Amino acid sequence: MTTRLADRRPVYVVGVGMHPYQFASDTPYIEMGLTALRAALADAGLAFPAIESAFIGTTGIGMAAGRIMFNHIGSTGLACTQVENASASGSSAFQLACLEVAAGRRDCTLAIGVDKYGDQKRAVLKEHVNRLSDTAHIPLVKYALMAEHLAKEKGLAPEDLAGVAAKNHTNASKNPFAQFRKPRSVEQVLASTLVAGSTTSLMCCPRGEGAAAAIVCSEEGIRRLGIAGDRPVRVTASVLQSERPQQGREIPSVTLAQEVAERAYEEAGITADALDVVELHDAFAIEEILYTETFGLAPKGAGQHFLREGGSAIGGRCAVNASGGLIGQGHPLGPTGIGQVHEITRQLRGEQGERQQQGARIGMAHMIGLGSIAIAHVLQRE
């Protein structure tokens, strides 16, 4: 018998923090991780010994990264688990932290993502199966081909893909944690370097490094630790699933994203119409258009119209990637999913200034990881 997260002990995000995403540098991962951790502790009004367990999302640093990092802030005996799930590593760490609180094992847990720009070797390269193409494992090629196909099938114009990137770069220009902080026009995006088909460099997310942290607590933990009652944001759903074999002409990652979103809505007891903010996996601009349809924010086949009409803009029907998304805020892998939780939590608190979606009460974070897997969390301000 399965149960929903909402049927378990309530789980709340009580503190979030980030180290800005950046291009490869000499900054030690410990400095980035502890910057995000200290910011989350300050946000929650807690000291590090209050944390009972930690889940560390990372892909390229190596074994025991979290435990080594915590040596520099204090060895408190907390339970410590390292999590690797490709681009969804941070998202998966956040899910495990939530489930531990929901199950009643802990009252205060930490999810933290941190990564340096490393080699991130993929296990699929060690399976000793010959590939039909040297580009078989390059996501850029898959999504560029997808964009070309959909341009013919649904009338997508290059300006639509550029519109996604221009929106997200402009959002990121107002985000102090973003890797890219320059507003971009549709014309600038179209004029950037072509990398595959009609996809240009500014339609793709950058790789980099950084850190993000989120602290989650039970109601008992909130009371015991004296956390301010107006700040916690409840996590009402957390769903993870991997893809099935492709059927016909369906796009497996899109089908998978739809299944995960629908399960998250059911678990949270909402519909797509209830969403005010969404942070979604936009490693390539075509993904945002596809997923806005997939998630029910726009009718099937009308994702580009939802974008053109301002439905996904800050102030529109549902602000999509108000942080700048992966394209603008960046995609350092390990921290990315927790960075989404950071954005949504602050949006639901009304703390995002000129990037604020007014009246935001419910948000969803969505990530895709190699394999492929998809994961989604629903957060709600009560």
Q: pLDDT tens, position by position, for the chain (382 residues)? A: 577 787 889 999 999 999 999 999 999 999 999 999 999 999 999 999 999 999 999 998 999 999 999 999 998 999 999 999 999 999 999 999 999 999 999 999 999 999 998 666 665 555 556 665 555 556 777 777 777 777 777 778 889 999 999 999 999 999 999 999 999 999 999 999 988 778 899 999 988 999 999 999 999 999 999 998 788 999 999 999 998 877 766 677 788 999 999 999 999 999 999 999 999 999 999 999 999 999 999 998 889 999 999 999 999 999 999 999 999 999 999 999 999 999 999 999 999 999 999 999 999 999 999 878 999 999 999 8
User: Do 202 and 184 form a contact (C-beta atoms < 8 A)?
Assistant: yes
The candidate with the shortest Cα–Cα distance to 97, out of 382, 380, 377, 366, is 377
User: Do 236 and 379 form a contact (C-beta atoms < 8 A)?
Assistant: yes
For residue 97, the domain's CATH number is: 3.40.47.10
Tens of pLDDT along 178-209? 999 999 999 999 999 988 778 899 999 988 99
Could you list the residue range(s) of the whole structural domain that residue 129 is in? 1-382
**pLDDT of the residue at 153:** 74
**pLDDT of the residue at 196:** 79
Give the total number of structural domains in the chain: 1
Specify the pTM: 0.94
**pLDDT of the residue at 142:** 76
The span from the CA of 57 to the CA of 67, in Å, is 12
**pLDDT of the residue at 88:** 96
